[in-house]
């Protein structure tokens, strides 16, 4: 029997405002964050009958406590989805939500699903990365992984070593720009539509409402970054200012077969073209987006010059800059993270992939002359992941695009 693969589209997505660890979500459950996202997706898309959802895939890096117990299933149930809707949990560290999307997208393309919800959650304040894990000692003793690879900040310092042209000054300048772009995007009302407000509770302060990203530091300057310590290496280059923080937050999105989206009156924001996950040396994990992007572009039959919009996860400034240098793209290229990135908004590990998608879909919405874009990120233990997307509302215009 021959099968016809179906086009997969990104219909809609939401996220919670991101918080600082021990910050606005200190007494809020991790699963309640993702439940809120699922509920909001259903509210925003009334033409989607909940019983038409075929799967819920939710990623978490630390799958214990209120991020455990097959969170895709439990969160779906608690969000009010019909009992017939299954769910599962997934882990690929920082690329968890990215992988939740690609895994379920494959099911849609194959015909096993029509509509899915995919996303991720990380409450790093409650569950620090690596909590409760018991790595096999052979991974170190047999030198499969350099011990430095287990501390992400060390891998970023290693990346600076590999690419000496990426100085601390360049990384700091990139970080200042990220903060400024995020503040400008907020001022223009471009971020708020993606956010679902979350009720918060504090034993000392009572109830509150989280409506904005807590980690943002719009007052950041080169002078203020120059004073920060380099905790991973004496006289190093990686600081709290040119890296993402330790954060809490959740994301979720609706994916569908394109014909099913049309049937249900759902308007696609992006069409999936190709994706790739690639392994690299764990101690240089920040380089992962380079081969992942090369492979995803090759699978799509595209080159880097075809890409009109980039959403690159800013785990560390050096990681973004290494990808840009590889392709000869300027640090301040207007196509790259135009609304700011994780250095400003925060990086709650497994949730971040969908935030990248939300911001790329905003790029497509703002400029229909943009046809193709990528969402890409580095991944702990030496991996990279990239998805190539197409703008379904591309107007065919190739003039006036920012290059």
Query: Known catalytic residues?
Result: 94, 347, 378
Q: Are 175 and 319 in contact (CB under 8 A)?
A: no
Residue 178 near residue 343 (C-beta atoms within 8 A): yes
DSSP of 314-352: -SBHHHHHHHHHHHT--TT-TTB-TT--HHHH---GGGH
Q: Two tokens at 106? A: 């494959």
Do residues 315 and 244 make contact, with C-beta atoms less than 8 angstroms apart? yes
**Of 319, 302, 314, which Cα lies nearest the Cα of 346?**
314
Q: Which of 308, 292, 286 is closest to 390 using CA atoms?
A: 308
Strand partners, 377: 385
Q: Tokens 């970054």 correspond to what residue?
A: 225
Query: What is the spatial distance between Cα 35 and Cα 21, in angstroms, rounded to a whole number?
Result: 19
Q: How far apart are CA 98 and CA 389, in angstroms?
A: 13
């Amino acid at each position: 029997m021959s099968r016809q693969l179906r086009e997969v589209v990104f219909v809609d997505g939401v996220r919670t405002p991101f918080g600082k660890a021990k910050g606005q979500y200190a007494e809020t459950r991790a699963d309640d964050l993702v439940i809120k996202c699922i509920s909001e997706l259903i509210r925003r898309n009334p033409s989607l009958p909940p019983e038409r959802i075929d799967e819920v895939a939710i990623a978490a890096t630390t799958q214990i406590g209120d991020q455990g117990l097959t969170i895709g299933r439990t969160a779906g149930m608690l969000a009010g989805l019909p009992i017939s809707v299954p769910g599962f949990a997934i882990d690929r560290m920082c690329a968890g939500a990215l992988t939740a999307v690609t895994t379920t997208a494959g099911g849609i393309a194959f015909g096993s699903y029509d509509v899915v919800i995919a996303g991720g959650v990380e409450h790093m304040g409650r569950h620090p990365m690596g909590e409760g894990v018991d790595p096999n000692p052979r991974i170190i003793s047999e030198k499969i992984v350099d011990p430095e690879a287990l501390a992400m900040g060390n891998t970023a310092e290693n990346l600076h070593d590999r690419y000496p042209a990426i100085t601390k000054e360049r990384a700091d300048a990139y970080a200042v720009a990220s903060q400024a772009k995020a503040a400008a995007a907020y001022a223009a009302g471009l971020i708020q539509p993606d956010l679902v407000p979350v009720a918060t509770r504090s034993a000392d302060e009572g109830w509150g409402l989280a409506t904005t990203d807590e980690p943002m530091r719009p007052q950041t300057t080169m002078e203020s970054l120059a004073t920060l310590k380099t905790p991973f290496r004496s006289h190093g280059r990686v600081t709290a200012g040119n890296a993402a923080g330790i954060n809490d937050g959740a994301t979720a999105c609706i994916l569908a077969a394109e014909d099913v989206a049309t049937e249900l009156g759902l308007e696609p924001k992006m069409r999936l073209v190709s994706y790739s996950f690639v392994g690299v040396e764990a101690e240089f994990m920040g380089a992962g987006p380079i081969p992942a992007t090369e492979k995803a572009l090759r699978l799509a039959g595209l080159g880097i010059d075809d890409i009109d919009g980039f959403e690159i996860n800013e785990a560390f400034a050096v990681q973004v800059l290494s990808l840009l240098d590889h392709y000869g793209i300027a640090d301040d290229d207007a196509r790259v993270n135009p609304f700011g990135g994780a250095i400003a908004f925060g990086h709650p590990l497994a949730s971040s992939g969908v935030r990248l998608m939300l911001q790329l879909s905003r790029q497509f919405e703002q400029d229909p002359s943009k046809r193709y874009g990528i969402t890409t990120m580095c991944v702990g233990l030496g991996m990279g992941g990239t998805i190539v997307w197409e703008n379904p509302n591309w107007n065919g215009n190739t003039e006036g695009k920012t290059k």
